[in-house]
Structure 1
Amino acid sequence: MKRTLAIGDIHGGFKALKQILERADVTENDTLIFLGDYVDGWCESSEIIRFLMELSQRQERIFIKGNHDAWCEDWLSFGKNEDVWLFNGGKSTVEGYSDYSLQDMDLHLEFFQRMKNYHIDEDNRLFIHAGYSSMHGPEKEVYTSNYRWDRTLWETAVAMDKKLSRNSELYPKRFLLYKEIFIGHTPTLHLGIKEPVNKANIWNLDTGAAFTGALSIMDVDTKKFWQSDPLPSLYPDEKGRNNYL
């Protein structure tokens, strides 16, 4: 049976990505929606991009662009390696490309440039890396950087009264636009939770793979999910990241 599977922030953890694809028994019949932040953190960022480029040739897939992917795209485009990026995982990404030819790096750049800001499926489910602030949805977002940086969408959902009905005048108008919203960007570890978290109609699939958590993949229809081993156990000689930009 064909499934739609959403995947949280990978952050250079290629070993974890391979684990969840195997544990979820992913086949070429499945549609894969990646929520962004493929790079920056663990040592295999370039290997992940190369693998995803190959994957895109044989499987239905959607790649959402995260804030770290935008940073990497700027570096591949213009050689911009800002300190804030390098400090937040970019250093390992730059090192991972040290043996790549200019031609191969250009192919990776084209892959980043083709990534989507967000995706809305036929069931009116939104897939986006971070969020949006417009009450009219991401299509009307003034600051497109919010696609990759906004945390107010998730923070609002976390702070909401669980008893608040969708019919209430106080229910956030942004939430009513979609049946469900799937995001990454803000680790669920901040809530002390190591699994995907549901608040209101939002599902957060960033389970802290950049830090001490695992990588997660979820069947968006059934909400069944699978996780990798914690990333530090897969990369025992590395430290991962300390910050969550």
Structure 2
Amino acid sequence: MTVIAVSDIHGSMTVMGHLRRMQAKYPDAVTVFCGDYIDGHPHSAEVVRSIMRQVADGRAYAILGNHDQMLLDYLRDDVNRQAWFMNGGDKTVASMVHAATGKDMPPESDASRHAMIDKYTDMGEFIAQLPTMCVYGKIIFIHAGFDLSKADPLRDTSAVDRIWIREDYIYRNDRSEPIFAHNPFDYTLVSGHTPTGLIKGRYDGDETYIETKFPKCPILAVHYDGESPRYFIDGGVHSGYKENQGNIAVFDEETGLLLDSLQTNI
């Protein structure tokens, strides 16, 4: 059986169109959404609604991303508004309020927040129940990653780190130079969160330097001999480059290996 994975859609219906084409190609595959469904493009509400329908129909699983958590915090108590708005939340509020009410309101206004709470209660409830990881076959899907510096990354990585971590997942403990971390799990790891064009380094024991020139953001596989691979699939949709419209990955659930993909701007 196959499993389709997409991460960091960031309100892009173009990415959702790419996904639909891959789902039509693999009609029996389950889809795993790996977080960050909002911010960046103007269709956050439509993207989340589509994901909600697919999860409700039993065709998909969804996990939590850091942008989704910031929206949830805003709906619940508004303590992190400034941080979210600096990451595109202000434009998301404006577009979602307009989509729900037909009105243009200042995103920082109390009227906008009340409209968001009133019109998107079901979306908040959906996000609130999302897990921070999904295990399917031989694959662990997670938004940002695990803290691989921990003795037991699965047990000791906090929920916050699972949706926010970068360097402690991508690279080994020694920060003197960017050397890719090993995979301590007997599972393939699939993550988003960090646009792959920003990931660069080399393998432990190999002087060959690996780097993709941003804004190109292809699917990146880090695979040591004798270990399960790690796949980074964030296609840079939140980067602001129009040509960055996501990556769709198809995996074999039994081997954990990439079978097929649709990659933009590579």
1:179 and 2:190 aligned:
no
Give the corresponding residue for 1:216: 247
1:159 corresponds to which of 162, 174, 178 = 178
CA deviations 1:179-232 (Å, max 9, x no partner) are 2110101101223242100113210000111122231111122521013579xx
Report the AA paired with residue 38 of structure 2.
V
Alpha-carbon distance in 1 for matches of 2:24, 2:235: 20
Say how many residue pairs are matched.
216
- The 8 Å contact of residues 36 and 69 in structure 1, kept in 2 or not, is answered as yes
- The 8 Å contact of residues 188 and 194 in structure 1, kept in 2 or not, is answered as yes
Give the corresponding residue for 2:2: 3
Give the corresponding residue for 2:46: 47
Report the AA paired with residue 83 of structure 1.
Q
Q: Which moved more, 1:32-41 or 1:51-60?
A: 51-60
1:51-70 matches, within 5 Å, as: 51-70=50-69
Report the AA paired with residue 146 of structure 2.
Y
- Identity fraction in percent: 22
1:175-214 matches, within 5 Å, as: 175-190=183-198, 191-192=212-213, 193-200=216-223, 201-211=229-239, 212=241, 213-214=244-245
Give the corresponding residue for 2:33: 34
1:60-99 matches, within 5 Å, as: 60-80=59-79, 82-99=81-98
TM-score of the superposed pair, with normalisation by structure 2: 0.73
Secondary structure of 2:159's counterpart equals coil
Q: Work out which structure has the larger RCO, using CA pairs closer than 8 Å and 6 or more positions apart in sequence.
A: 1
Alpha-carbon distance in 1 for matches of 2:221, 2:34: 16
> Cα offset for 1:59?
3.7
Alpha-carbon distance in 2 for matches of 1:146, 1:32: 24
List alignment gaps of at least 5 residues for structure 2: 101-114, 199-211, 224-228
2:261 corresponds to which of 193, 217, 225 = 225
CA deviations 1:80-107 (Å, max 9, x no partner) are 4522211211112111221436554110
Give the corresponding residue for 1:132: 146
Asked which structure has the greater CA Rg, the reply is 2
TM-score of the superposed pair, with normalisation by structure 1: 0.79
List alignment gaps of at least 5 residues for structure 1: 162-170, 231-245
